[in-house]
Amino acid sequence: MAVADVETSTKHLWHYLAIEEVARLLATDLETGLSANEAAERHDRLGPNQLTAKKRESAWLRFLQQFNQPLLYILLVAGVVTAFLQEWIDSGVIFGVTLINAIIGFVQEAKAENAIAALAESVTTEATIVRDGQKLVVSSSDLVPGDLVLLSSGDKVPADLRLSEIRDLQVDESGLTGESVPVEKDLKPLPPETALAERINMAYTGSLVTFGQARGLVVGIGEMTEAGHLSHLMQQSTSLETPLTRKIDKFSKTLLYVILGLAAFTFAVGVAQGASWVEVFKAAVALAVSAIPEGLPAVLTVTLAIGVSRMAAHHAIIRKLPAVETLGSTTVICSDKTGTLTENQMTVQEIYAGGQRYTVSGGGYAPHGEIFLDEQPVDLANTPTLYECLQAGLLCNDSHLKEEDGNWVVVGSPTEGALVAVARKASLTSQSLEQTLPRLDTIPFESQFQYMATLHDTRAERSIYVKGSAEAILKRCYQMLDTHGDRIAVNSKQIERSVDEMAKQGLRVLALAKKVVPRSQSSIEHSDIEKDLIFLGLQGMIDPPRPDAIEAIHSCQSAGIQVKMITGDHAMTAAAIAQKIGLNQSEDAPVFTGQDLSQMDDRQLANAVEQSMVFARVAPEQKLRIVEALQSKGEIVAMTGDGVNDAPALKQADIGVAMGIAGTEVAKEAADMLLTDDNFASIEAAVEEGRTVYKNLLRAIAFILPVNGGESMTILIGVLLSTALPILPVQILWLNMVSSVALTVPLAFEPASVGVMQQPPRPTNKPLLSGSLLTRILTVSVFNWIVIFGTFEWIVQTTGNETLARTMAIQALVAAEAFYLLSISRFIPALFARIRGKDESIGYAVAVGIGCVFIFQTLFSQWSVMNQLFTTEALSLIQGLICLGLGIPMIALAALLKRFAPLK
């Protein structure tokens, strides 16, 4: 029977079949899996292991949704009434501008959503499988029916599996079945009618392994999975709504009522003064049009989207858009040491075995170097205890090394990779030992036990090899091996002194032990290694700090952000590393251990987390208490994590940061941000970008609102004084579109300001419109009104030509806007810095925007078609220069505002 036929005929009955029958039907092997050729053929025939994405709303519907904004309702009503009054040009321009605004918003939102969706797709789920007898790590989309998948704690199940082997396996299936408690799995076949939630011999797509290990055969991919049958699509939302955009929406609705009130007031005053209601209505429409910041929502959206893209370039992928804003307020970053602050390339430097201290040369995972005793190379044949210690590290190990492009890399754990590398320096290899000492069973490493154990067979006996923290191993040992390999009573104090001496050098210390068991024993449990172990030795290794992480820590400290290291390492090791990377300035700086934390109440813990920068031997579940303690002190916390037990802390933190390389799927799903390079420096870069995004949003608000403020003041005061309107509704619409698009959008592309990481974090309770920002908006609004009203009255008084006066008033306002834009952007300061030889990024988008505005305004006044549409008049060169000159005082005003009402 063909594989495709099997999938169709038995898709709901895999739990009923014996595993051997499942393997036969899927034409696969329970030990070696599929062949690469067969897997490729099935992939070509059946397609990728992906669920069909839900259909997006049609483009037309998404376009029409652009009109669903309270502020645009006013424009649409104004356009209808103006058409009713047979003011066809005005009505056409109003509808035209509204349409252009909708098009711009549609395009920008589509680009933003597509960018975020592309970033989400770049975070792929990986699966560990066996093909041709070799363990491989592949994208989950490459899985096919019959693949043999390996699962361990923290993994997301990549396809529907019929389990073939399990060890203490527990799976969280809440997303599929609603069962809140992880399910313990079993292998026995079940009756055909067994309900989905009770199929304990199956593991389903999207479920999370919370404990243990397992193997299983893929029986369903893509739409053939239970998730596919239930249309439970496992995909991330690409919502662009954030706390800031919600504030803007609320502000817009408030502004709507204010605008309607002012428009009604204007209409009432005009009619009361005896003016024609048609003319007064036009004035009211002009006021409403002038006060509406049509482009603000689009500018906010594109600014956030650009921030997300920039962060991705710095290896930080934002999964939840509010994180962009929160990053700018972060006050504490809690980071694991391994791989984030360090190179994640462990190297064994010292070994303690048989009461003697050995040193090791060579670095990284390259198996090049030697083992020395008193500066003399050792011969393993004459050092049986050293041999046993190296052998234990190689056997109790799930990782291996491979050479890629001349570089040695570890497939698996960096710590285990170091043990493999040092054993190879002594000519010991996994391949040779696996033949003479085959593994029979394993207890995988779990943080709550702090050890791993393996059972091996020899001709004479069977032995359990154990590796783990010195504390966990030593308390289980009653004997040790001396220099000659003979058993003697364990000398705990001497071993503890060696552990402390290694730890003071910043070495991570692993202890190794063994236990001889009866030949009849074929499996191991935790109870087997509770006591009677034989201590074999210590291996001290170091993971050197990342140079860029050291620099990033200094940058964070300058920015008022505390950096705290939370690690499972020994306290002395953690303290040594902390001093090297600049967290602790002195050797006597406090370092709290997980044991210390467990004895503290909440008040004591809150004080402790404020005092110390380093926490050692911390269990993952204690991270949650640390986060809560920091938050109780009012801190905004970013927390890194990679394990299953890190998920609660990642969710509790204001910014959960998961490791994209080493992180488990549970950690990734709980996080707001992923680091694709697992590097602390990427967090610092993301914080800087978060601050830049917020600063650019403030720039956009500070620019666009005064434009509308000046225009609306002009209309209102004109009506109150019963003068001719200095600016017409259609001209205001033109101005607003030019200001919103050509001048405001470039602010979204502004690079980071110099010193952005030397400023303290922004308080989260700080209002959107601060006193300083309101002062700036009001002052610039008054200046813009003076420019419009003053220019109009001056030209009318000297020429009597209202059309010319309005044209020059508009051009003078645009000139003032351009000067104001230059004053709040980084373009001029960065340009002068470059001239002085400093390396600063120049935001050319502002210059491009101003150049485009120059072209648009030239057409606005000089092109006859535009003269007809917008009631403007061509200007002479002298008149154009006069308009430019009228905007120059903005430079002096901007300088004063920079001092007395700075943007911050």
> Which residues, including other chains, have CB under 8 Å from residue 571's CB and lie 6 or more apart?
503, 591, 593, 616, 617
What six digits make up the tokens of 53? 């994405």
Tokens found for residue 246: 């919600």
Region of residue 897 (phi > 0: left; psi between -120 and 50: alpha; otherwise: beta): alpha
Under a CB-based contact definition with an 8 Å cutoff, are residues 84 and 285 in contact?
no
DSSP symbols for 668-731: HHH-SEEETT--HHHHHHHHHHHHHHHHHHHHHHHHHHHHHHHHHHHHHHHHHTTPPPSS-HHH
Buried b (16+ CB within 10 A) or exposed e, 89-98: ebbebbbbbb
Angle at 209 between CA 204 and CA 215, to 5 degrees: 70
Q: Which of 525, 541, 526 is nearest to 573 (CA)?
A: 541
Specify burial of residue 5 (Cβ count, 10 A radius: 0-12, 13-18, 19+). exposed
Bridge-partner residues for 272, per DSSP? none
> Rounded CA gap, 503 and 470, in Å?
11
Q: Which residue has 């505002």 as its token pair?
A: 897
- Catalytic residue among 90, 155, 172, 336, which? 336
Quick one: tokens of 65?
């949704």
How far apart, in Å, are the Cα atoms of 47 and each of 38, 40, 559? 13, 10, 50
Q: Are 795 and 804 in contact (CB under 8 A)?
A: yes
Q: Residue 559 burial (CB < 10 Å; 0-12/13-18/19+)?
A: buried
The rounded distance, in Å, linking the Cα atoms of 458 and 438 is 8
Asked whether the beta carbons of 284 and 731 are under 8 A apart, the reply is: no
Reported as type and span, the H/E element at residue 525 is: none
Which residues have CB under 8 Å from 707's CB, separation 6+?
Answer: 293, 735, 736, 739, 784, 813, 817
* φ, ψ dihedrals at 598, nearest 5°: -65, -20
- CA-to-CA dists, residue 336 to 389, 490, 618, 667, angstroms: 28, 33, 10, 13
Q: Are 210 and 148 in contact (CB under 8 A)?
A: no
Please indicate whether residue 172 is annotated as part of the active site. no
Instruction: Encode burial over 575-613: b for 16+ CB neighbours within 10 A, e otherwise.
Output: bbbbbbbbbbeeeeeebbbbebbeebeeeebbebbeebb
Tell me if 903 sits within 8 A of 699, measured CB to CB. Answer: yes
- Helix or strand (DSSP H, E) at 269: helix 243-272
User: Which neighbouring-strand residues pair with 468?
Assistant: 451, 511
Parallel, antiparallel, or unpaired: how do β-strands 407-411 and 439-446 relate?
A: unpaired
Alpha-carbon distance of 722 to 796, in angstroms, equals 15
- Tokens 């055969």 belong to 217
Q: Is 427 left (phi over 0), alpha (psi -120 to 50) or beta?
A: left
Q: How far apart are CA 244 and CA 247, in angstroms?
A: 5
> Which residue, chain included where needed, has tokens 């602050």?
341
Task: Taking each helix axis as running N to C, give the angle between helix 889-900 and helix 771-799, from 0 to 180 degrees, rounded to the nearest 10.
Answer: 160
**Residue 507 near residue 410, CB atoms below 8 Å:** no
d(CA 450, CA 619): 10
User: Active-site residues: which are they?
Assistant: 336
